[in-house]
């Protein structure tokens, strides 16, 4: 990932782990890890691990005899993850700074590689997938997930359309929309197969995400979503307030007695070498 060197990663990492991991990223991580059928002695690489929700789930299954490497380009994300695990059964995770486009591992190193909501943020995902193929062992497994188009994620859809309206551009031109650029299942399949991996399945799954209210979602993405936060900072305060009001209005239909329950849809892909 590049172009975000001016983000306050320490603040963003803490907010991401507190506000977005429990609501949005823990369920996706569980789905990805479940699809890998991990075995106790296997070696696992989690690319773009963030604060480690998928790494921790994998470690609980393999660390008795295997290993888990959690890789991310941002030291602040790694620090938050490591701080969470130093006293529990995931304490053996190896937290490493690294670049998905140039993995620092020998060929055929890992039994399993996982990658949760990361490929769409990479500047060169095809190059990263070739690296994934290289460091997987023969017969090794790969599992990933990417958000579907923001039409299938109405909270983000409302945010992106609000930003587009304030900028007088199309929603697809909003920078925050890049998080959904691999939302087409066939595009994702073709990209993965282009690396040499053999795709086993691509499945669209809707997850229900809970926030206390619309402002809970707004706080989560504006404080804990590093890339969305960066995009929102480019707007004047009055424009940001208008964007947030558009989100509140759009999410009224999802408001329950104690929370809003909003669909978030993703494609989950599994492959092997």
Residue 1 has pLDDT above 90, yes or no: no
Q: What is the pLDDT of residue 133?
A: 98
Q: What is the DSSP letter of 255?
A: B
Of 225, 9, 266, the C-alpha closest to 117 is 266
- Which residues sit opposite 70 in a β-bridge? 46, 95
Residue 217 has pLDDT above 90, yes or no: yes
Burial string for 155-172 (b: 16+ CB within 10 Å, else e) reads: bbbbbbbbbbebbeeebe
Q: What is the pLDDT of residue 63?
A: 87
Residue 260 has pLDDT above 70, yes or no: yes
| Number of residues that make up the chain | 273
Dihedrals φ, ψ of 153, to 5°?
-130, 80
Residue 5 has pLDDT above 70, yes or no: no
What average pLDDT does range 203-211 have in this prediction? 94
Using only C-alpha atoms, the chain has a radius of gyration, in whole angstroms, of 18
What 3-state DSSP class applies to 139? Answer: strand
Residue % of the chain over a pLDDT of 70: 98
Positive or negative, the CA dihedral 60, 64, 70, 75 is: positive
Mean pLDDT of the chain: 94
Sort strands 260-272 and 110-116 into parallel, antiparallel or unpaired: unpaired
Residue 4 has pLDDT above 60, yes or no: no
Which tens digits make up the pLDDT trace of 120-176?
999 999 999 999 999 999 999 999 999 999 999 999 999 999 999 999 999 999 988
Q: In what order do the strands lie in the sheet with 198-211?
A: 94-97, 67-72, 43-47, 110-116, 136-147, 260-272, 198-211
Q: For residues 229 and 47, what is the distance between their CA atoms, to the nearest angstrom?
A: 22
Q: For residues 145 and 125, what is the distance between their CA atoms, to the nearest angstrom?
A: 13
What average pLDDT does range 11-35 have in this prediction? 95
Q: What would the two tokens of residue 228 be?
A: 């969305």
Residue 54 has pLDDT above 90, yes or no: yes
Are 130 and 137 spatial neighbours (Cβ–Cβ below 8 Å)? no
What average pLDDT does range 194-198 have in this prediction? 98
Q: What is the pLDDT of residue 227?
A: 83
Which tens digits make up the pLDDT trace of 69-127?
999 999 999 999 999 887 677 889 999 999 999 999 999 999 999 999 999 999 999 99
Residue with tokens 């490929």: 119
């Amino acid at each position: 990932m590049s172009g975000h060197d001016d983000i306050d990663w320490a603040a963003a990492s803490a907010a991401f782990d507190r506000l977005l991991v429990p609501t949005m990223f823990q369920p996706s991580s569980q789905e990805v890890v479940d699809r890998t059928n991990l075995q106790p002695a296997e070696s696992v690489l989690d690319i773009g691990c963030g604060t480690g929700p998928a790494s921790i789930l994998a470690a609980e299954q393999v660390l008795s005899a295997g290993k888990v490497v959690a890789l991310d380009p941002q030291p602040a994300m790694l620090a938050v993850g490591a701080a969470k695990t130093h006293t529990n059964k995931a304490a053996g995770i190896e937290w490493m700074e690294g670049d998905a486009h140039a993995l620092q591992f020998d060929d055929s190193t890992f039994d399993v590689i996982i990658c949760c909501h990361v490929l769409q943020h990479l500047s060169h995902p095809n190059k990263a997938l070739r690296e994934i193929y290289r460091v997987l062992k023969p017969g090794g497994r790969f599992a990933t997930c990417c958000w579907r188009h923001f039409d299938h994620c109405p909270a983000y859809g409302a945010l992106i359309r609000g930003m587009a309206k304030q900028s007088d551009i199309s929603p697809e031109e909003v920078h925050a929309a890049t998080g959904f650029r691999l939302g087409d299942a066939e595009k994702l399949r073709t990209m993965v197969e282009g690396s040499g991996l053999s795709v086993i399945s691509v499945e669209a799954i809707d997850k229900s995400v809970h926030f206390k209210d619309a402002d809970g979602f707004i706080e989560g993405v504006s404080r804990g979503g590093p890339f969305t936060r960066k995009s929102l900072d480019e707007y004047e305060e009055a424009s940001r307030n208008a964007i947030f009001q558009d989100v509140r209005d759009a999410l009224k239909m999802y408001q329950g007695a104690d929370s809003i329950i909003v669909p978030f849809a993703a494609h989950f892909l599994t492959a092997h070498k």
